[in-house]
Amino acid sequence: MQFRHEVLDNGLEIVAEVNSDAFSQSLGYFVRTGSRDETTEIAGVSHFLEHMMFKGTPTRTSLDVNRALDDLGSQSNAYTSEEQTVYYMSVLPEHQSAALDLLTDMMRPTLHQDDFDTEKQVILEEIAMYDDQPPYGAMERAMEEYFGDHPLSTRVLGTRETVSGLTAEAMRAYHHMRYAPGNVCLVASGAVDFESLVREAAERTRHWEPATTDRKRIVPHPATAEVTMVHPPATQQYTLEYSPSPSILDPQRYVYRILASILGDDSGSRMFWELTDKGLADLAVAFTNEFEDCGIFGLYLACAPEQQSENWERIERILSGARTQAITDKELELAKNKVRAGMILASERPSNRLFSIGNAWLSRRKYETVREATENYQRVTRDEVQAAFEGLANRVQVRVSVGPEPEA
Amino acid sequence: MQQKLLQHRLANGLVILGERMPWLESVAFTLMLPGGTCREPTDRAGLAGLTLELSQRGAGPLSSRDVVERLDFLGVERSSHVSTFYTTMSMAAMASVLKPTLEIAASILLAPHFPESELEEARQSALLELASIEDDPAQKCFKELKQLRFGELFGRSSLGSEEGLEATELEDCVGFHSRFCKPGGSVLALAGNFDWDEVVRTLESLFSTWSGATDTEPGPVVPYRGAVHLPHESQQTHIALAYDAVPYNHPEYYRGRGIVGILSDGMSSRLFTEVREKRGLVYAVSASSHSLKNCGSVLCYAGTTSNRAQETLEVTVDTIRALAQGIDQDELSRLKSRVQTSLVMEQESSSSRSSQIAYDWMYLGRVPSRQEVLAEIHALTCESLLKHFQEHPPQGWTLVTIGPEALEFSHAVST
């Protein structure tokens, strides 16, 4: 296993974890752009653009792109989040050159008006699909409540209105600025020929024009808030709460991840034994979500509407119980073992390693082997977790609940 | 490395299969037992799932909490589920903890406590899971489709019914377990990094007191046709569609699967191209092969806003029927390279390999090698696919839609 790193003249960074014994390789362009980099008028453009990257290049039509992806036998896809947009494919090693050629070509799309108009319909379908699914927009609403005018409040998919109003021209301008080589990282894992990768990437991105990109890092100032939404067809009540936790750059994040696992993993946690195991809730979990300038400690409860209030009290009691029910050594050990095993098992596929390597490089410019990554958790002490736990008692809470019409 | 299937039958009838993947650090095993939903009494829909859940709430020397904590301590990833014919339990962990992991699995199989005190909690969990489907129209659509197509017995959901779950008593679970959790007729398939001789020795000792077999076989599955609409206040209409196809154990299965691949595998597939790329009608559209022993089906899904639902259904059916006009060489070669890639990548995951081995054994009574599957795929020609499509045209349609308005569908009656 070998880590390789190179920066091209145009500013494009290339990182790879080379494992010559692997059966496959994964390649991905990790772009440091997402919904937080959008203005209100173009909310949803990052995600819409992600779709448009499959819709044709100067040398390939949309159908050509899709056929070429399948020709390589690749498992390929893309996703957009608040902070990044990622395009990836997993192929057999002998297809490296062709895969790189295709993926690189896709990064400079033509954005034809016809394709843009058709794809807009697909995006609107995607928005409608999520609106019909639990928790019926509560997640987006909680982000808006929590972040207020902070850029992280922008919805990844945008809204029906912003997406309908988007123009191909605005998308081109956004692409020019955000997909500049200095804002993109080419990541590879598995059986990679790194020398060829660098040589061919340099050749194929020669025409990529540098541009200045930036991202505003702002500390959010959330205030406690509670919102109840009604979704008449719903049969269950879904409640989501966000409170502050460390950012992706803060070493304390490992402490909070362990804490979330002890309190609210979907199996074996305090919330599991108190709610899910007893058949009081379909789901009751805690999680962290980290960004460059801040993080969120999240709670999620799905249960029958008439049990919501009592269940939430149970969760509250767990979260404010640091003094009376301190974290035990056994809980810490179990959480560490669970995280460690999960990471090692997942790392057997190069396609999973791609995301660990790409995310770490894009957010922190850091490479860690799987062992090093697991050690970050092994180092966490009981006192650190206990201190974070005690801090939860006075947390700022932004809570959004959605369910059917309350019974009169 | 040459692929080799290791095989051993314990004296009690349990079949143990193994495929070594020494380049991995992990090992995974999948246990398939014949206790599926089709074995439930009519008034106990949900019994199989409840029995499985309860069997893990304390077993052998371990309490309910001990089971979870011990598995977490060992770093074991696990899942279990019930399907029409089987109860399946899977675990994956680092190779070094295989033995203690097998010990826990053996306790669950051989010595579950079935604590009276936990029945109510397990029942409430099951009822909540069942209720949550009401809020997920896409999933509900498939649940209803299977029920309509495969009937009360074979189309029963693993989540059961409210009445069935409410009526279930502890002795039902104990009885179901003792009747269907038997070594004869079951399989344990391992894949990953393990020592075969040691595994066999361990299992011989762990299962030395286990005996018996599930002797009766469920009857044949006969699919029904028809169309049902369930009104729902949603923006999208969810369309779940099924039609007849050859099952997994049919000699021409790979031809049928190849046709489904042309329809739905990859971004250049027919459905993705016609329904999403050209017309922008949907975000999600797909088709997949589904087998219930002797009964094969193709299951399709599309979700679209209601005013475009009729058009989406028509384009979907037309796209399927248009296969009769021929298949291109290019399409077929893309299909072949996709299959080849996924077969190579299967070697990267002990979990997916172990579940494939168990599934193959139960459905085929043998485990085809990668070479054999590749040879089958390479032998496909445009002509053989077309001929298969003509001999097995889409018919016996079943349709379920969920959304604001019903759709018109003539294929339900005329085939």
| CA of residue A192 relative to chain centroid, distance | 25
* Nearest-neighbour CA in chain B from A119: distance (Å): 6
> What does the pLDDT read at residue A408?
66
> What does the pLDDT read at residue B217?
83
Q: What is the pLDDT of residues A376-406, one digit of tens each?
A: 999 999 999 999 999 999 999 999 999 999 8
* Nearest CA-CA partner of B321 in B266, B243, B261: B243
> What does the pLDDT read at residue A115?
95
The mean per-residue pLDDT over the stretch B332-360 comes to 96
Please list the ranges in chain A whose pLDDT falls under 50: none
CATH assignment of the domain containing B78: 3.30.830.10
CA dihedral A262, A266, A267, A271 (to 10 degrees): 60
* Nearest-neighbour CA in chain A from B331: distance (Å): 9
Q: Are residues B192 and B233 in the same domain?
A: no
Enter the ipTM. 0.94
| Chain B contact probe: residue of A47, A91, A112, A132 with most B CBs at under 10 A | A132
CA dist., res. A261 & res. A334, Å (int): 9
> What does the pLDDT read at residue B414?
42
* Nearest-neighbour CA in chain B from A346: distance (Å): 9
Residue B415 above 50 pLDDT?
no
* Nearest-neighbour CA in chain A from B374: distance (Å): 14
Q: Are residues B334 and B190 in the same domain?
A: no
Q: What is the pLDDT of residues B355-373, one digit of tens each?
A: 999 999 999 999 999 999 9
Residues 6+ apart with CB under 8 A from A39: none
> What does the pLDDT read at residue B216?
79
Size of interface A-B (CB pairs under 8 A): 186
Residue B164 above 80 pLDDT?
yes
CB A201 within 8 A of CB A9: no
In the CATH hierarchy, which top-level class contains the domain A225-403? alpha beta
- Using CB atoms, pick whichever of A131, A134, A348 lies closest to residue B136: A134
Contact across the interface for A125 and B283, Cβ inside 8 Å: yes
Q: How confident is the model at residue B262 (pLDDT cuts 50, 70, 90)?
A: very high
> What does the pLDDT read at residue B69?
97
Q: How confident is the model at residue B1 (pLDDT cuts 50, 70, 90)?
A: low
Instruction: Indicate the domain borders of chain A.
Output: 2-204, 225-403
Q: Could you check whether A2-204 and A225-403 share the same CATH topology?
A: yes
Percent above pLDDT 70 for chain B: 99
Residues of A in contact with B68 (CB under 8 A): 267-268
* Nearest-neighbour CA in chain A from B102: distance (Å): 17
- Using CB atoms, pick whichever of B77, B93, B136 lies closest to residue A133: B136
* Nearest CA-CA partner of A296 in A134, A147, A141: A147
Q: How confident is the model at residue B2 (pLDDT cuts 50, 70, 90)?
A: confident
Q: Are residues B81 and B164 in the same domain?
A: yes
Residue B212 lies in a domain: no
Residue B329 lies in a domain: yes
* β-bridge pairing A225-230 and A398-403: parallel
Q: Are residues B127 and B240 in the same domain?
A: no
Residue B394 above 80 pLDDT?
yes
| CA of residue A141 relative to chain centroid, distance | 17
Number of domains in chain B: 2
Q: Are residues B166 and B294 in the same domain?
A: no
B80 by Cβ neighbours in 10 Å (0-12 / 13-18 / 19+) ranks as middle
Q: Are residues B357 and B305 in the same domain?
A: yes
Q: Are residues B244 and B360 in the same domain?
A: yes
> What does the pLDDT read at residue B412?
58
| Chain B contact probe: residue of A51, A53, A70, A77 with most B CBs at under 10 A | A70
The mean per-residue pLDDT over the stretch B84-100 comes to 97
Contact across the interface for B129 and A282, Cβ inside 8 Å: yes
Residue B298 above 70 pLDDT?
yes
Contact across the interface for A236 and B338, Cβ inside 8 Å: no
Nearest chain B residue to A266 by CA: give it: B68
Residue B218 lies in a domain: no
In the CATH hierarchy, which top-level class contains the domain A2-204? alpha beta
Mean pLDDT (chain B, rounded): 95
Residue B124 lies in a domain: yes
Q: Are residues B52 and B96 in the same domain?
A: yes
| Residue B119 domain boundaries | 6-206
Contact across the interface for A125 and B121, Cβ inside 8 Å: no
* Nearest-neighbour CA in chain A from B387: distance (Å): 24
- Using CB atoms, pick whichever of A23, A126, A303 lies closest to residue B347: A23
Q: Are residues B182 and B277 in the same domain?
A: no
Q: Are residues B174 and B239 in the same domain?
A: no
CA dist., res. A237 & res. A307, Å (int): 9
Contact across the interface for B273 and A63, Cβ inside 8 Å: yes
CA dist., res. B356 & res. B368, Å (int): 10
> What does the pLDDT read at residue B214?
86
- Using CB atoms, pick whichever of B72, B131, B234 lies closest to residue A236: B131
